[in-house]
Each structure stands twice: as structure tokens, then as C-alpha cells.
Structure 1
Amino acid sequence: MTKSQSPSGFLSDLITQNAARLTGSDTRLLDVLVKDPLRAALENGKEVSNRAGVHPAAAVRLAKRLGFEGYPEFRAYLQASLVEEGNDFENPAARMAARLVCAEEGRVLASVLDSEIAALEALRNAVSDGDIRNFSETLRGARKVFIFGRGHAASLSALIALRLQRSGYDAADLGDRTHHFAEMLNMLSPDDVVWLLAFRSPSQQIRDANDIAFQRGAKRLALTDLQAARLDPMPDHQICAARGEAGESQSLVVPMTIANAVILDLAGIDDGKSLKSLEAFKAFRQSLPARWQR
């Protein structure tokens, strides 16, 4: 059977179609495969057979009964199913396994680099300078900026807050103060900005912050990936960019690059406020005892 003639469809369908031909060993193998498809997509036939407690050649015989030339082709089918069928990849183990099956042995770093480069190249056409300027102009006029991200976005939230503070803006990382969530958002006014960060799906806390900011009349910015794009009510300005395809590394470099571009553009339009503040901060830090300069 050629590659173009390889079986297609779900594994359950292949099992049903070939049920009359399956042996006891086949059943034990399939039980192992179905219970842990992530591991099955990574292992060779001998490893799967060992886990099932059957002869090493049993996996090859099963693959042929299901219509494949051999176990390598069957394994490629399992890998393709993992990458192509699980489009949401909500299970962290599934996301990790999908990235592993996309990386050739000994090329994990290269695979991650390829994925990051592809995501950054796609960013060129996905986000415009106008999108960046909308963010920076909104930040420039803010009395106070509240940045909020959960999960992986929390690290970027902290970095944005730090950079804005050094640039002379009154910025607070809500992700670092969730135990004071009510107190912090109670201070919101129409002169403030809430910058939300959401990857994969907005948490309920992100949705709550968006609702409260809307009710208080504060400006709302949202930096999201494609899967977290929908926020209701819609933010005043939103930048939405893919962080990688299914089975690829879900880049944190992409949103960080966007945030860096916003802060750089802000420095270019705030009449020297950012540059003066950065110089003042540098001088202040150098005046501190050495133990505080690390």
C-alpha cells in the first residue's frame, strides 16, 4: 500500500472496520494505544508491544491488519491524528506531545526555533503599525495603567508593568495582586487604562476585569492569541496574533515582541517622558548601595 493509499479517518473507525480480523494480542495492543494515545504516538512498535505484554512482532501484525505497510506507517498515522485532530490542544500533555512528534529526534531545539521564526514572520502581516499606535496613544494619556494576565501571560504582565514604571508611567501588575483585586479595580476611573493579556482562553478573572473596566468607563486594551480573541464587551483596542500552529511551540516571543513595540512607540510619542524617566531611573539606581544594583 502506498502512502497515498494509507488508511484515513479516526482510529476507532479503523478498529470497527477490521474488528473481525483482530486477535487477542491485537486487542491488548489497542487497549494500550487507546488508553494513552499521546505516549503511543511517540513509541515504536517494540515499546508498545512490551507495554501490552505481547510479542515484539505483534505491533507490526496489528498495523498490517489495520491496512498499513508496517508499524512506522501506523505510528505516522497516530502522530498525524494527534497533531491534526486535536485543534484546541487544551490538554497540556497533548500540546507537549504534539510538539515532540513534530520534532525529529535530536532536533528539538531546531524545531522550537523554526516554530518561533515562523510565528514571528507571520506577525509581520498580522499586526500593523497602526495597531501598535492605537495602544501607545491610549497609554500615553492614562492616569494609571493596570496590566493583567493569567497563566503564561502573567510573566509578560509583570514585564510590561516594570517597563512602564521605568518609563515614568503609573503602572500596576494586577496579576501580582490578585488578593487585592477588588481594592485595585475599585480605584478605576475613565482616565485609566486596563491592559488585558489572554492566551488560549480568557480566564474568568480576565473577563471580570474587562467587565469592571467597561462599567467604570476605563479604556481597555487586549493582547491575545487567536484562541482567546473573543472578549465581551469588545475592548477599545485589541491586537490578536497567532502564537503558532497546532503542534508547534506556542510562542511567548510573539506577544512579547508586540508589547516591546508598543512601549518603544510610546517612547517616540510622549514628548521625551519615557527617555527622561529612564535616565532618571538609571541615575537613581546607580546612587543606591551596590547590593541594590544587581
Structure 2
Amino acid sequence: MKHFKSLVESYDGKLTVADRALISIVLSEPSEAIYLSSGELAAKANVHASTVVRLARKLGFEGYPDMRSSVRRDVDQNPSFSNISQQRRTSIEQGSNLANLIEAEMAAIAAVASSVSQIQIDDGAKFLANANSIYLVGRGGAAPLMAHLDRRLRRASFRVETLLNLQRRDMAERLISLKANDVVIVFGFQAPVSLPAGFEALMDHARVTGAKTISIGDTSILTARPRADLTLSISRPDQSAMQMRSGAMLVCEALAMTLANKDPERAVKGLESLERLRSDMQSSEAE
């Protein structure tokens, strides 16, 4: 039987704003959602109870109890989610401190293994290896991830364009040169509204031009439509309170490392060219 997360990711129909709100709650708080009635879940998302039933049937379940059972299987098979309620209560009681932060980030990193596979990383690296240009698109909290991946790709001599916090008009001007074999990597976290401005038009434009698309984010990225060619969704036990992007940073680094392993000659040449240019610049300054 398919897991709830897998069904959300593979669903090709239309997801409404209410659907996305419900899915975000279930995926970010699975160990709590399994104890909620349809009415209670609807109240948390501020939608009508009938919306919960319609969502369950959209995803192929017989009804809400069937959907809740699927979520329960996900929780039972993923230990990182089993104690989420207790983790949050303990965090509130003890307050924020270094030990709690370390524990939370260790759990987040451990959860990456159950969220993203090496096969997916390999697929993403294949897209990037054949890219003429790579566009990194995001807003807000995605900035550190984009800066890190931008640096790693440039050091391997890839042409990278970083589009951070751009409005629709500026985004269109930067993407007008998008072509087949280019790759667009979109970052999004915590809610569909966190996606870059003009996301739907961006994805449609990439499809028309033949460019490949990769989306990276937490479980809310699964509800983004149109879907990317490859979605790297990183779960974490405390997703609804997420402040850091440790898991996503790990995935970005895995992409860069796998890409270098697939074409070590290019990676070495890129580093050699970088060092040569740095040396030349230092020499010219000394003169």
C-alpha cells in the first residue's frame, strides 16, 4: 500500500489552497494528525470538514479513516516522527538552548535518509551534468542554500544564475534566455506561499523550452504544482517550527559531490582554473 506522502507526490489532479493547507498540517505533524477526527483536522486548517473527505478521495482513499490509517503507517515506520508531541512539549518546557538545538538538528539530518534516496541525488546530478546554465530560484530563508550551491557549482566551472527574492517582472527578464538542457532549481519551505513569485508560469516556461526542473524543500514542496521533473522533499520531525535548513543543506552538498564524482575531470579542471586565476590576480596586485 502506498504511503500518504507518496500519494501526494504522485497526484496529478488539482490541489486547492485548502487541500495544500491540510496536507501541510498532516505532513508536518503526522504523529498528531493520526489522532484527529476529520472535523478537528479541518478546524486546524480553517477549512470545512467536507474538504478533508474530498481530499482523501482525491488521493485515492475510500475516506478519511483510510487516509488516516495510511498516515499512521508512515509514523509507525519512521521512528523520527513517533515522539514529535513529546519533543515539542519538552522544548517548550526547557526553552531554547544549545543542547535542544543540537538534538533537533541531529534528528533533522537523520530524517534525510528516509526522505531522499541516492537514486534521486543521482538523477539530479545527471540533470546538472548536462546543463548549459543552472538557475537557482528562491526567496527568504532559501538564501544560504542558494549561496552554498552557487559556490559549489561555480567552482566546478558551471554557469550559474542566482535569482533570489525577485518579483515577477525581474524574474521574467532573467529567465527569458532559458533553453533546453538548462536546469532550474527552485527552493520552497513551510508553505506553498513561500515559493518564488510566478512559480507556476516559471515551471510552465521551463517545460515549453525543454529545461529540466528540480524542486528542493520540506514536505510542503510536494503540493507545489506544476510538479518539477525531480522533487527532493526533506522531512524533519519539527517541520512546523523549522528555523534551520540542515537537511536541505546536506542534500545540496550531496548533489554537488555526486556531480563532481560523475565528472571528476571537469571538477579538477575547474579547481585548477580557479587557483590559477587567483594566483594571477594576487600577482597583478603585488606588482
Instruction: Give secondary structure in 2 for the equivalent of 1:251.
Output: coil
TM-score normalised according to structure 1 size: 0.60
Whether the 8 Å contact between 2:111 and 2:236 is mirrored in structure 1 is: no
1:110-121 to structure 2, matched below 5 A, reads 110-121=99-110
Structure 1 unaligned regions, length at least 5: 1-84, 89-97
Instruction: Give secondary structure in 2 for the equivalent of 1:162.
Output: helix
Q: Mark the CA change 1:87 to 1:192 in structure 2 (over 3 Å): closer, same or farther.
A: farther
Instruction: Supply the RMSD in Å over aligned alpha carbons.
Output: 3.0
- Given the alignment of the two structures, is residue 218 of structure 1 paired with residue 211 of structure 2, yes or no? yes
State which structure, 1 or 2, has the greater radius of gyration over its C-alpha atoms: 1
- Structure with the larger RCO, 1 or 2 (CA within 8 Å, 6+ apart): 2
Deviation at 1:219?
Answer: 0.6
Deviating above 3 A after TM superposition, structure 1's stretches of 4 or more consecutive aligned residues are: 85-88, 98-101, 103-107, 176-180, 203-208, 246-251, 289-292
Residues in 1 aligned to 2:232 and 2:256: alpha-carbon distance in whole angstroms: 14
- Given the alignment of the two structures, is residue 255 of structure 1 paired with residue 248 of structure 2, yes or no? yes
Q: Hey, what does 2:98 align to over in structure 1?
A: 109
Whether the 8 Å contact between 1:119 and 1:251 is mirrored in structure 2 is: no
Q: Which of 245, 266, 272 is 1:273 aligned to?
A: 266
1:1-294 to structure 2, matched below 5 A, reads 102-105=91-94, 108-175=97-164, 180-200=170-190, 201=192, 202-246=195-239, 248-289=241-282
Greater Cα offset, 100-109 or 252-261: 100-109
Residues in 2 aligned to 1:207 and 1:111: alpha-carbon distance in whole angstroms: 38
User: What CA deviation, in whole Å up to 9, does each residue of 1:86-108 have, x standing for no partner?
Assistant: 978xxxxxxxxx97972554761
Identity level (%): 26
User: What CA deviation, in whole Å up to 9, does each residue of 1:150-173 have, x standing for no partner?
Assistant: 110123122212221111101110
Whether the 8 Å contact between 2:109 and 2:247 is mirrored in structure 1 is: yes
How many residues get paired? 200
Instruction: Give secondary structure in 2 for the equivalent of 1:148.
Output: strand
User: What CA deviation, in whole Å up to 9, does each residue of 1:128-181 have, x standing for no partner?
Assistant: 110110110000001111111111012312221222111110111011765732
Residues in 2 aligned to 1:171 and 1:156: alpha-carbon distance in whole angstroms: 14
Deviation at 1:256?
Answer: 0.6
